[in-house]
Amino acid sequence: MKTDIILAGVGGQGILSIAAVIGEAALCEGLCMKQSEVHGMSQRGGDVQSNLRLSDRPIASDLIPLGGANLILSLEPMESLRYLPYLRPDGWVVTHSEPFVNIPNYPDMDRVNDELGKLPHKVTLDVERIAREAGSARAANIVLLGAATPFIGISYAQIEEGIRRIFHRKGENVVGLNLKALRAGMEAALPFPAKA
Amino acid sequence: MGKYLFLGDEAIAQAAIDAGLSGVYAYPGTPSTEITEYIQTSPTAKTRGIHSRWSTNEKTALEAALGMAYAGKRALCCMKHVGLNVAADCFMNAAMSGTHGGLIILTADDPSMHSSQNEQDNRVMGNFAMIPMLEPSSQQEAYDMVYDGFELSERLGYPLLLRITTRMAHSRAGVETRPPKEQNPLSFPADGRQRFILLPGLARLRFKALLKAQEAFTHASETSPYNQYFDAPDKTLGIIATGIAFNYLAENYPEGFEHPVVKISQYPLPRRLIERLADTCAEILTLEEGYPVVEEQLKGFLGKGITVHGRLDGTLSRDGELTPDAVGKALGKEISAFYAVPEVVEQRPPALCAGCGHRDVYEALNEVIQTYEGAKVFSDIGCYALGALPPFRAIDSCIDMGASITMAKGAADAGAFPSVCVIGDSTFTHSGMTGLLDCVNEQSNVTILISDNETTAMTGGQDSAGTGRLEDICRGIGVEPEHLRVMTPLKKNYEEMKRIIREEIEYRGVSVLIPRRECIQTLKRKHPAKQ
Ligand SMILES: Cc1ncc(C[n+]2csc(CCOP(=O)(O)OP(=O)(O)O)c2C)c(N)n1
């Protein structure tokens, strides 16, 4: 088993909590993991990414090589495109569909969608809307994680366990809301063609 | 004891606690900040009474750490790479005195300048001071180096420089922890005055002692578990990989190395391992995260005319962080991306937060400044440096902490008018106060804005050393009370702010303006409900 994931977004959106859940799930499975994070300057509204590597064998590099990622998981559509050189030809892009506009020259969304449309393996969802409908607007990142569960290489049940462990200190209610958000994301992604 | 998913920074912090640390001394700086923060929030550190409060700057931090080690205890001093420039005076001289209790000085370097003004490689500083250095290749190694490092420092009698880079600091991996040790009792060095009074006569003896100690340092490197020789069949090339460069090398050889490899994570250079490599291989490739430090040393050291490849001959780029791809290319491997970045992708630089007080300071300042031909605004290090970007484009410089005040002074001395500077509250107490004294002593014609958000925001909102006392400090330094003016940076106050700024620019002498409003990030954290 070996999965290389790039998490992408804008500083402050919360990509690191997705990484934390996957990391916890990987730890439960006894997998090796390396995850490089972005702290510092770019957290002030700049583009941020995290490299997350899972394997049943020891991992050498903290960074994913070009053309090596199985999955790009992004909380912002333009940001999902920024890391395409790292995606394998058969890799998946799972991204939030709605733009985060904090620059004056944000491109026309039709052009962004055209580029996303060219990719053979992708899931685009309005995870914020799905999160609101699932009862927790703040769990958009967990909805996104739910949509990506088929591509991570860890069982759905184990990722649920990751959520329980990460959120248990915040109480049963928060755990429940996040489990619900995870399921909503997973179900919303079902209509997209399954991995070949 | 157990296995944890730690950032490199957290592994170092936990190791220090487990190793019997008595105090961490630090000033925040990416990517080193999380070490001290981890100790500050650790329940074990609390019950053990470990000192962890932020210092005013890196120099005061290192001096305090040296003092604690002088008193026999184990001390850790953490800083980002440029922090060691600030602490350099103590650093160079602590290598002369040596230490009594274990002292580890941590430098977190930032190749590719993710959050820094330069990418200096502080192994150069370690070589300059001639003290032993450690450079972990994994989070586990970082843990073990610190756990065992205090003893090594005590045995050798010298401080150690632990060098990490951004990837090590901010990357998570599983780390196995070891049983906690007791703290050292209070004790003083028997030959303390011979070692710690660096008057010329004694200092000359200390320098001879330091030179003699190099032998012991090299022996420690040669027998270190962190330096290793890996044999492999193809001797056309031998590879030296330091720190995390070793990981990128391993990533390119998933089935095992094809060429002999020397892994280096402890310095001075392990001579014997390198000589063995040079004797068996036709050429050498050096892989280093940072400057070509080993590459340059090898040239003098081997003296056999053996060809050395690396960052100096263009095999690897002279600047920037290493990646598995850059290392693969240096090894002659085919590296290919399948997809390209689509043209539609725009840059997304960081920006001042919506609602940040620095925004209001620049809005008001810009309007006044526009009315003066040739006005210069010297700025400094912190969130407010983002005032360089549109829509503000409000500043003319950002060099090193504290430089705004003194550069404004120098420019004013040269005849520039108006000579304005913008500095943050934490930067002001870090290194601005002494420059202000220079201004006051000469009645320089400068207008200084201390944009006070009551925290050290850029690095995540740590306590700022002078919060609540900036006016007292300025008055104490000698700023005239009528030219020391506080304001609240809010839209509704723009007219008043502009009037005050203009009046103080027109005053021919030292003015200090303090626009004060709490950082909205720290405010949000205190009142999460308002989010
Ligand atoms: C010598 C040195 N130490 C530490 C840093 C890291 N650093 C950059 S900005 C900053 C905080 C500045 O705080 P403040 O002046 O209060 O400005 P704010 O970010 O709060 O606006 C720090 C600690 C640095 N760049 N140089």
Burial B352-372 (b: 16+ CB within 10 A, else e): bbeebbbbbbbbbbbebbeee
Query: Cβ(B456) to ligand 1 under 6 A?
Result: yes
Q: Write down the pLDDT at residue A11.
A: 87
Q: What percent of chain A has pLDDT over 70?
A: 98
DSSP string, B313-338: TTSS-SSS---HHHHHHHTT-----S
What CATH architecture is B3-222?
Answer: 3-Layer(aba) Sandwich (3.40)
- The domain that holds A13 is classified in CATH as 3.40.920.10
Whether A101 maps to a domain, the answer reads yes
Q: Which atom of ligand 1 is nearest to the CA of B453?
A: 20
C-alpha A37 – ligand 1 centre gap (Å): 20
Read off the pLDDT of residues A88-123 as tens digits, 9 standing for 90 and up: 999 999 999 999 999 999 999 999 999 999 999 999
Q: In terms of DSSP bridges, do strands A2-10 and A47-55 run parallel, antiparallel, or are they unpaired?
A: antiparallel
pTM: 0.96
What DSSP character marks residue B237? Answer: E
C-alpha B152 – ligand 1 centre gap (Å): 33
The closest residue, in CA terms, to atom 20 on ligand 1 is B457
**Counting one residue from A and one from B, how many pairs have CB atoms under 8 Å apart?**
147
Q: Write down the pLDDT at residue B304.
A: 65
Query: Cβ(B72) to ligand 1 under 6 A?
Result: no
Contacts of B383 in chain A (CB under 8 A): 44
Q: Cβ distance B94 to B159 under 8 Å?
A: yes
Please state, in angstroms and as integers, the Cα–Cα distance from residue B79 to each residue in B37, B164, B284, following that order. 12, 11, 33
Whether A196 maps to a domain, the answer reads no
Question: Does the beta-carbon distance from A45 to B350 stay under 8 Å?
Answer: yes
The closest residue, in CA terms, to atom 2 on ligand 1 is B83
Query: Could you tell me the residue range of the domain that residue A80 belongs to?
Result: 2-189
Domain ranges of chain B: 3-222, 228-330, 357-525
Contacts of B460 in chain A (CB under 8 A): 39
Q: How confident is the model at residue A196 (pLDDT cuts 50, 70, 90)?
A: very low
Read off the pLDDT of residues A156-194 as tens digits, 9 standing for 90 and up: 999 999 999 999 989 999 999 999 999 999 999 998 876
What DSSP character marks residue B396? Answer: S
Question: Does the beta-carbon distance from A81 to B345 stay under 8 Å?
Answer: yes
Query: Cβ(B382) to ligand 1 under 6 A?
Result: yes
Candidates B339, B353, B393: best to mutate against A (most CBs of A within 10 A) is B339
Q: Cβ distance B126 to B267 under 8 Å?
A: yes
Whether A194 maps to a domain, the answer reads no
Q: Write down the pLDDT at residue A177.
A: 95
Residues of chain B with pLDDT under 70: 303-304, 529-531
Question: Does the beta-carbon distance from A105 to B348 stay under 8 Å?
Answer: no
- Structural domain count, chain A: 1
Q: Write down the pLDDT at residue A40.
A: 72
Please give the mean pLDDT across all residues of chain A: 93
Read off the pLDDT of residues B143-183 as tens digits, 9 standing for 90 and up: 999 999 999 999 999 999 999 999 999 999 999 999 999 99
Question: Does the beta-carbon distance from A65 to B34 stay under 8 Å?
Answer: no
Question: Does the beta-carbon distance from A40 to B31 stay under 8 Å?
Answer: yes
C-alpha B29 – ligand 1 centre gap (Å): 7
As a residue count, chain B comes to: 531
Q: Write down the pLDDT at residue B531.
A: 42
Same fold, B3-222 and B228-330: yes
Out of 3.30.565.10, 3.30.70.20, 2.40.50.140, 3.40.50.920, the CATH code matching B228-330 is 3.40.50.920
Backbone angles phi, psi at A152, to 5 degrees: -90, -25
Q: Which atom of ligand 1 is nearest to the CA of B86?
A: 1
C-alpha B469 – ligand 1 centre gap (Å): 18
What CATH architecture is B357-525?
Answer: 3-Layer(aba) Sandwich (3.40)
Query: Cβ(B458) to ligand 1 under 6 A?
Result: yes
Contacts of B341 in chain A (CB under 8 A): 81-82, 84-85
C-alpha B149 – ligand 1 centre gap (Å): 29
Read off the pLDDT of residues A29-76 as tens digits, 9 standing for 90 and up: 999 999 998 877 777 889 999 999 999 999 999 999 999 999 999 999
Whether A149 maps to a domain, the answer reads yes
Q: How far apart are CA B20 and CA B18, in angstroms?
A: 6
The closest residue, in CA terms, to atom 3 on ligand 1 is B83
Contacts of B328 in chain A (CB under 8 A): 65
C-alpha B424 – ligand 1 centre gap (Å): 8
Q: Considering only CA atoms, which of B492, B450, B494, B453 is closest in space to residue B472?
A: B450
Q: How far is A18 from chain B (nearest CA, A)?
A: 14
- Tokens representing B71 are 């008193």
The strands making up B74-80's β-sheet, listed across from edge to edge, are B21-26, B74-80, B103-109, B160-165, B133-134, B266-267
Q: In terms of DSSP bridges, do strands B261-264 and B228-230 run parallel, antiparallel, or are they unpaired?
A: antiparallel
3-state helix, strand, coil in chain B (%, to 5): 45, 15, 40
